[in-house]
Structure formats: structure tokens, C-alpha cells
Amino acid sequence: MSKHHISTTINGEPVEFLCDTAQTLLDVLRDELGLTGSKEGCGSGDCGACSVRVEGRLVCACLVLAAEVDGCEVETIEGVAQGNVLHPLQQVFLDEAALQCGICTPGIIVAAKALLEKNLDPTEEEIRFWLAGNLCRCTGYDKIVRAVQKAASVMRSA
Amino acid sequence: MGNEERQFKWVGTRQVRPDGVEKVTGQANYGADFTLPGMITGRVLRSPHAHARIRSIDTSAASALKGVRAVVTADDFPNLPSEVVAGGESPVNYRYISCNAIARDKVLYEGHAVAAVAASDPAVAEAALKLIQVEYELLPHVIDVREAMREDAPLLHEDLFTEGVDPKPARPSNIAKRTEFLLGDPAAGFAECEVIIERSYTTQPVHQGYIEPHACVASVAADGMTTVWSSSQGQFMVREFCAKLLKIADSDLRVIPAEIGGGFGGKTTVYLEPLAIALSRKSGKPVKMVMSREEVFKASGPTSGGVLHVKIGARRDGTLLAGECELAYQAGAFPGSPAIPGCMTAFACYDIPNAKTVGFDVVSNRPKCAAYRAPGAPMAAFAVESALDELALKLGMDPIELRLKNAAKEGTRALYGPKMPIIGFVETLEAARAHPHYNTPLKANQGRGIASGFWFNIGGQSSAALHINEDGTAEVVTGNPDIGGSRASMAIMAAEVLGIDYAKVKPLIGDTASVGYSFLTGGSRVTFATGKAVVEAANDVVQQLRARAAKIWKCEVEEVIWKDGVAHPAQGQTDTRTQLSLAEIAASAARTGGPISGKASLNAGGAGPGFGTHLCDVEVDPETGRVEVLRYTVIQDVGRAIHPSYVEGQMQGGAAQGIGWALNEEYVYDEQGRLQNPGFLDYRMPVASDLPMIDTVMVEVPNPAHPFGVRGVGEVPIVPPLAAVANAVARASGVRVNDLPISPPRLLAALMK
Amino acid sequence: MATVLLQPEFARRHTGGERIIEVEATTCQALIELLDERHPGFADAIAKGVVVAIDGQLYPDPLLQALKAGSEVCFLPALEGG
């Protein structure tokens, strides 16, 4: 069977790739395009380690077929910093030690960025429910939630 | 607390971790992120049966499939004898590890690896698995630990005879070992007791739940030189196990550690690495293997579930006089449950003059258990701390007062033999009593639980090298994967000793060919033991720096003092010489004897025991049986926090895992012994919306055996939560559930009784 | 003189049930050698899978450790962790 020719924009850059029908967006990002910042923790949309945005919408890349992103804008963790300037979320995650092993961190930062773009002053409960699809086994979420709160405050005063 | 206050410049500060930017930008390379040119993909064929004899395996059709480069079965691995030999840090039976990595003769659990395939394309590898013909003879299976202990239970290993009973049994058994610890005279102790609590408890196996599945790449060259890139808790462990399983010389096997996406003890053994090496050897190609989440659940180690029986007795005034605990832990398919540490830790928090614990290590048709944070201790603490809570209620005593009255202190004899060294358990209880959390009023359907916990912490073998660069910056190389910020701790300790800026010290984790042997990252040992090696290496460098300064100044080395990163003439010397900074000495190194490098290799003893006390508030919904954790406080003696944020992180993370253990997590098997919930949707780990903020109090009672007073901190925090939650539920609802998890259906059923 | 404390199970198997043994030794190695003379096989039993606690501190490399007068020595199963 022939492959699909997909034209898309990833982190602002035009990207074309060929994929099989069965390949997920995550497969293509990681295996074809070398964007391994999105992690595969489950392959079933339960852990959120592969969180990316398609047309601004937060999705699990393991649940999206690569062919579905034809003509779409895709944002991954690799597009969150502007060159070597970290996004406030990234800087605050470092300052507040909101990561331990770091495997869930890319997905959580992508997800939290999507939240803060909608709501720059989320409550603790809003943060916890927004991130309920992003599993972290190391931190108990405390420092993650605090970091998102602090990043929101940094961004509000920017 | 007996420690003179020393002012540290870097120890105890919250620095940004050196590997942080890579990890928040997605650039860090974890196990599955690594690729090599010409790399092919390996996949594993796993048993659909809980217990079966393998009559035959026909791989011919799979091998013939276009794109398949290699197929391996147990026949491609040496048939190792079953014998217990000295391993890296404790005894190992390599046959068990080998037969767990790939089944030989029998499959012992659903998911047990039977064959592996490598192909140019993942889809081809998957297709090839379907072409492998395995003829099984189904055997009766046993999942439950109590059933597995019965005389008529289906036997997993015909050559397994219970160790630790005299005379040696005539018949094989699923009970691999019986262990007993005794102190004083429990029968006499109980005879004196005025109050006795005796209860039975069960806990379920729970998975470590690291978000990163096991992953590796192996490449075997034509001359046999083998390189493995893998995510594990120890590159030297991977080398040791693979070398033994495949009969490779250590020098022909180089293991390069990837970043590790969580381990918690679960990555202290090998699953995929031996298969990947065998596939690469056969195909001549680098082979990458990554587990799916389903494979992680079905084929990698949970910790044991257990059945426990506890009896404790006291005087009316709350003085504990006697304790007994019998526990049976599921090992999974091969012997090796943490029954022994369960026995040793059960009563370790308390000064009980008469105590006895008996442990059974029991095999059943489940995946072989692996270490999980303080292996064996949380289950035992659940039983003992629950019983103590009942005792406190029965005596009408405050549960913290009861614990304080009986708390282990320096000099208390532990059931397992020695007297406790300097410990900080009492301090955690006092901090708990003084914490605002403990005195906050509760509403209807709410309850407050308290529980304590102990873990030994270990030391062991570690190496460190410290290289001074030409500009006076430094690299510190160690051999322990960084699971939760240890690079930052290593750099902090090196900077403290050298007296230079934290930012000038860059930590690096060496592969097995570039740094001396280091036992794995586990047992809460890295900041203690590897940290000690870093401090010794840094002291070695400081000695050399003083010697270089002495050469430049044409004086004796004793006349040079090292302070704040600068060589000073010793006091009393006429100060005509200028000071020399580390950077200045480094710049002149070529003229004073060449490069400046320090190293240390050691086997650290004296790891300070760790104690913690947890406070937990819950609200029980009487309509549904759902438990909500409202507030949680972790108090722990951390010795000395090198990087307080990452110490707090350990405390919070351990508590969260323990809360999941208490409330949600369990393995569900069907009648055929097949796991019904091998995914994150149905194996319900705590998510952000399940938990409150987790408050932390770090009590610092320094460990005299570490230059900065470090105690291990990673494991203690998972010990108390099971009982802290259960005690809170009991006090909130008036109903005590002694079988974990306290899931809504179970609690609702108990409430309706 | 150091005092060795053994768990009953270990003592039953390796020292004929003797649980508290006084040994004249200045290092842990000498102590083990003396016990092995009295109870052949003792050293082998210690060689794999045992850590030693001397006066409450656990040592993974016991042979090198010095003993003081009145030191208390316990042999424990080797411990790892998670």
C-alpha cells in the first residue's frame, strides 16, 4: 500500500512527510522526524506524555493518526521555547524543581501552556483537573501544580 | 541534636539541576529516544497462558518472513545452573533472571517472554511473532498467595524446596523460604500484656508505575564487542546481568546509561537487554526494543502482595511489651519477594523487648516481583501501624503519644539484632505533634490518620572522578543514573568541598567503560554513598591543589590552607606570597605536574536509618465509599538535605505512590490467570485531581557516617502512607478495612455491613 | 572481646544453636575466622548475602572493619532497596 504524503506545519516550520495509514502522529514525530521530546508512556491516551497541540487543541499524539494532521499546525515540546529563550513555564519548572525523572515533563509543559493560554489565572483545582490526563509518578504533583501557578503569575505580570 | 551548626555555601541550597534545560525542552535522551544507523526493531512473543509447559517452538515461518533478521528463543541463551552466587550487592540466582527474561521449558505467567524477533520494520516484527508456532501443554495455575502455599497447589518449580525449615522438606513447594527473627521471649511478653490487638491484613501487588517503559538498544560487532544503551537504575547492573546471562566478558560489554524515566526499584533488573543482545548478535544489526505499557504491566515487576497477621500487646499505660508478625509475600514466578526486609522492618520503629516475625517467600503464576521503594516495608508497616492505631483507640491514647512512648532511639535494640545508631524518629513524632495539621478540627465524615515508617537505607560500592579543567571549572563523573536530581546533589557537594561556584561544576554520568564500578541507583544510596565518593574525590583534588600551590610558593604542603576555592598561606606565615585561586592553579597545571584529577572508589558503610511520620486527613463519602484525601503532611528525618527541593520531591512522590497503593492500585486476574487491567486506565494510579498539596517537614538529624550528614531519603516516604490512609478512613467512617486497596466498592461493602 | 549476636535460625544452622558468642578478635575478619574454626562452615555462610552490623552500623565490607573491646557484632541478610 502506498504511503500518504502529508504537508503540515510543526512548531512554525513547514514539514512534509510520508506515512502509513496506521502510523500515529507520535510514531511520525519520534521515528520519522526525530522529535523525540514527545514521549510514549502508554500508547492509549492515558498518560499524556505525548501531549501535543494540533490546531491549538491539546491532544495525545498517540491517539492521532499522522495522516490526520495534513494541513494542520502542530506544536510540540520542541516548539515551546523560542530558540534558546525558555518559556516561563520551562524556567519555573527548573526553578521550582517541578520534575524528577523528567519523562512526563514535556507533556505536562505542553498541556500547562495550553491551559495558561486559555486561563492566565487558574485555581489549584482547575490546574489539577486540566492536568488530570498527564500522569507523573515521581512528584506527587505538588511541585508541578505550584510551578504552573507561579508561571501563571510570572506571565500575568509580564 | 548533637550537631555543631556549620555554615555551608552550597549544601542545603536549591540550585537549578544541571540536566534541567534538556528535560524541560524535550532534548534529553531517554531509553526509547536513541537511534543508530541501520538499527532494526525487536519484539517479544509472550505467553498467553498463566502456566504451561513448552512442548515445542517452531520459528521457521517467522524466520522466513521477508524483513526478519533474527529470531531467538531460550535455546540461544546458555542454560545456567540454579545456584545462588554473590551478586553486585547481594546474592543472585542468575538462572532465575535468565528464565524470567526468556522462558525455558515452562511459561510461568501470562506475558512471560517465549521468543523474540528482530526485523527491519516494526510491522514486520509484529507479523513475524504471529508466525511463531508454540505448542503448549497447559498446566493448572495459582495466583493467590494463600492458595499457592497449600500442599496440593500447582507447583511452579519441581526443584524448589522450602529453605529455612529443618529437616529439609522431602517434597517441593511454592514456599521458597521461611525466615524468622526473634528478640526476647514473645510468649512471656504477651503473658504480661493488659491489652492485645490481633488482626489479619492483605495487600495487593502494585506496580512501580514509572511512565517510561523499559527500552534499550544493543549492538554487537563482528568481534563480539557489545554495546548497550538502556534506561535502567544501573549501567553496571545491566552489564553484570547481561554478561552472566550471555557469558560475555565484562570488558567486551559496554553499557551506556540513557536518561531514566522513573524506576522506583523496578529497573533494577534486566528484561529486554539480553534479548536485544542475542538478536543483535544473530542479525549483525543494532536492535532496539521498547516495551508497550501492556508488556510493562504483564511482564515487569510489581512488588509483592502480602498476607499478614499481626499481634501486639501493651500495658494499660501504652508500653509495648510484645509483638508478633507473620507475613507471606508473593514473589511472582521466581523466588525473591522482600519477605526478609518485611520481617526486619515490621517493628523497627519501636522499642519492643519481645518480638518475633516469620516470613514466607512464595512463588505463584504472576510476573516476578521487582524491588519497589523500601521493598517489603510498606506492607508490614500497614499491618503494624493499623494495629497500633487500634491499640491507641482501645487505650484511649493519642496515637502520637503512643508512638512517642515506644519510639526507637539511639541504643534501642532492633528485632533483627543491632542497636539503633543515631536516628531521628522521636524528632519526626514531635514535629508531627507540633504541626498545625495535627490540631486542625475535622468535620463530619472526615478523619485523621497517622502512621510511621522505617527503612534501613544502604551504602555500598561507588566511584567518582573529579577533573579540573584548564580554566578552573570542574567535571564530576559518577556511575549512577540520575532518577530524581542526583546530578545536582553531586555538583553541590563537589562545589562545597572545592569552594567554587556550583555553576562551575558539571556532573556527568559515565558509562561502564569510563567510570569505576558503582552499584545501582537504589536503596536510597546515591546521595549517601556516591556522594561520599564525590566528597572524597574532591578532597583528593584539594590535596593536589594545595600541593601545586606549595610547589609554586616553594613551601611545604602543610603551609597551604584551602579555603573558599583559594590557596592561602597558613596562619603564622609571613604573608609575602599572594593567594592562588583554583583557576590560577589550574592554569599553571602543566608546569606544576600536569592535569589535576581526583578520584575515589569506596564501599560505604554506615548508611543512616531513616524514619518518617505521616499525617493524613480524608473524607469518606458514605453514599459511594469514595475516599478523598483532603490534606497530607510528610515528616521525615533526612539527615541533611543536600538539595532540599529534591528531598521534598522524594517525600511527596513516595507519599503519592503510597496513597495509590492504599486506595486504588491492584492487579485483577481472570479465572485463567490472565491480567485484566494491564493499562493506566484500569490500573488507576493517582492523577493530579486525586491529590491535595503534600506538605513536607524535613527534620535534620545528621548521619555521622557521611561528611555532610546525609541519610537516604527516597524510600522511607512510601512506608507510612498505606496505614496513614487506612487509619484516617477508619477514624472517618468508624469502619476499619484491613484489605487493600480501600477502593469505593470495598469500603462501601464494609460500610453497609 | 567482642560479642556476636545471632538470630536463632542462623545459629541453629551454623553454630549449633549458640546465639550469643564472645570472641577475642580485633577485626571482623579475625572474628569470622575464629568462629569458622569453632563452627566449620561459618565463614562460607557469611561469604554470600550477609552484611555485618558493628555497634549498630551496617557495613557491606565487614572484613576490613576493626572491632573495639566490647563491640557488638550482628550478621544480617544483605539488603538492597528500590
d(CA B37, CA B33): 13
Which residue has cell 577475642?
A: C24
Average pLDDT (B721-742) is 98
CB contact under 8 A, A93 and B17: no
CB contact under 8 A, B691 and A44: no
Omega prior to B741 cis, within 30 of 0:
yes
The 10s digit of each residue's pLDDT in B472-517 is 999 999 999 999 999 999 999 999 999 999 999 999 999 999 999 9
For chain A positions 89-108, those within 8 Å of chain B (CB to CB) are 89-90, 93-97, 99-106
Can you give the pLDDT at residue B5? 55
For residue B64, the surrounding DSSP H or E stretch is helix B60-64
List the chains bordering chain A where 3 or more Cβ pairs fall under 8 Å. B
| Closest to C10 in 3D by CA, of B179, A23, A43, B745 | B179
Can you give the pLDDT at residue B280? 98
Average pLDDT (B570-583) is 78
Average pLDDT (A134-141) is 98
Which residue has cell 556522594?
A: B531
C-alpha count within 13 angstroms, C-beta hemisphere, residue A149: 14
Among chain A residues, CA nearest to B23? A102
B211 reaches A (C-beta below 8 A): yes
d(CA A107, CA B637): 33
With cut-offs at 50, 70 and 90, classify the pLDDT of residue B582. Answer: very high
The 10s digit of each residue's pLDDT in A82-130 is 999 999 999 999 999 999 999 999 999 999 999 999 999 999 999 999 9
The 10s digit of each residue's pLDDT in B23-66 is 999 999 999 999 999 999 999 999 999 999 999 999 999 999 99
Among chain B residues, CA nearest to A133? B687
From chain B, pick out residues whose CB is under 8 angstroms from the CB of A133.
687
B661 reaches A (C-beta below 8 A): no
Can you give the pLDDT at residue C61? 78
Can you give the pLDDT at residue C82? 82
Give B462 to chain C, closest Cα distance, Å. Answer: 12
Q: Which of B16, B210, B648 sits opposite A94 (nearest CB)?
A: B16
For chain B positions 216-245, those within 8 Å of chain C (CB to CB) are none
Instruction: Give B347's DSSP letter.
Output: T
For chain B positions 77-106, those within 8 Å of chain C (CB to CB) are 84-86, 89-91
Distances (CA, A) of B466 to A50, A55, C68: 37, 49, 35
The 10s digit of each residue's pLDDT in B677-712 is 999 999 999 999 999 999 999 999 999 999 999 999
Q: Which of B91, B372, B606 sits opposite C57 (nearest CB)?
A: B606
The 10s digit of each residue's pLDDT in C7-43 is 988 898 899 999 999 999 999 999 999 999 999 999 9
Distances (CA, A) of B747 to A69, B284, B619, B628, B729: 46, 56, 12, 12, 9
Among chain C residues, CA nearest to B414? C56
d(CA B481, CA B528): 14
Among chain B residues, CA nearest to C75? B417
3-state helix, strand, coil in chain A (%, to 5): 40, 20, 40
- Which residue, among C57, C64, C73, C75, would best test binding to B if mutated, counting the most B CBs under 10 Å from its CB? C57
- Which residue, among A31, A87, A100, A136, would best test binding to B if mutated, counting the most B CBs under 10 Å from its CB? A100
Letter for the amino acid at B501?
D
pTM here is: 0.97
With cut-offs at 50, 70 and 90, classify the pLDDT of residue B91. Answer: confident
B345 reaches C (C-beta below 8 A): no
Distances (CA, A) of B301 to B39, B482, B486, B570, B717: 28, 21, 24, 57, 20
Can you give the pLDDT at residue B2? 39
Can you give the pLDDT at residue B84? 85
Average pLDDT (A28-36) is 97
Average pLDDT (C45-61) is 85
Average pLDDT (B350-355) is 98
With cut-offs at 50, 70 and 90, classify the pLDDT of residue B442. Answer: very high
d(CA C18, CA C54): 19
d(CA B569, CA B631): 56
CB contact under 8 A, C80 and B607: no
From chain C, pick out residues whose CB is under 8 angstroms from the CB of B461.
60
d(CA B346, CA B383): 8
